[in-house]
Structure 1
């Protein structure tokens, strides 16, 4: 990070000038964030802070790898789904979160690009994705399957980072039938420590 410089004022004093990122600062931050995070959030360009996950244009999380200077994903078939607006040729906003704090760290615009099966680029991208793909069956002929039923897509940053538009970037959780109702399950090995203390105090009062 460059040091702050000073410039003279009308009164002769010096004030530190605002720090301006170097030209490659955004690119380096995008690459670092993409390598550290296994997920990115896609949304139509300009709608990341105005949509939620319950709407068709809401942000959607996808797993990816950072390969050849781009966010690279495999989708379709038995792999992860992608929204209809995240097709080759469309411009999307790619958001990444901070691994330490969990909040949105940086976003960038990208035009979705299809990697053509049978090309050296496709083979290299498939190998990079396979290295990070979880729960693949042993002996799975993933390259044949991906070429037949899935698509390999990449999203290179178009310019620098997208300035936050005032939204938090938080997405509303999708509706789910999973819930915890009724009595809590019985604890194995006795009551939790706080409940034990409460019962002990009640016993003292009754004596």
Structure 2
């Protein structure tokens, strides 16, 4: 049985990287798609951990070879998801969480109809502004631009399957983990195991709950 895709999106400063790291630490059997990017590392970010940091020339060569499942240009920096990495993990039966913007998320939904899209929101624009300023990697002018673009980005949350509001880091992490764990208990995921455990069980398909 193949794994499931969980696509997490949200504006810069919403806490995606921190929450995803915590969820991956606490849930077994969970893979992660590490994106390639042309932007510079921030703070303690390390190559191969949060992102694969590559030059624009390397990225564009990978793009020409069709190695990306989806790509995005955010604030002049390129991001891409490795096609082979995702498909290899899904074939192994791993569930995968991905940090992808809304454009990439909708493209993935078209390709993988069963993918679950989760939008991570800050509790307010003021909170988002404070987080971006405290991060210290952008000038006040750049933060102002990010906030303006964040409003347009966040409007896409209404097209997602789930919304998580990061007002408290631990609570938001629990919410995201709960979504993943509940999706693992869906009938279409559990029925093969039930049939294996109880081979003589009569199953009435007409009574299956529609998704």
Q: State the TM-score, normalizing by the size of structure 2.
A: 0.24
| Bigger radius of gyration | 1
**Higher normalized contact order (CA 8 Å, seq sep 6+, divided by chain length):** 2
**Structure showing the higher helix proportion among its residues:** 2
Q: State the TM-score, normalizing by the size of structure 1.
A: 0.25
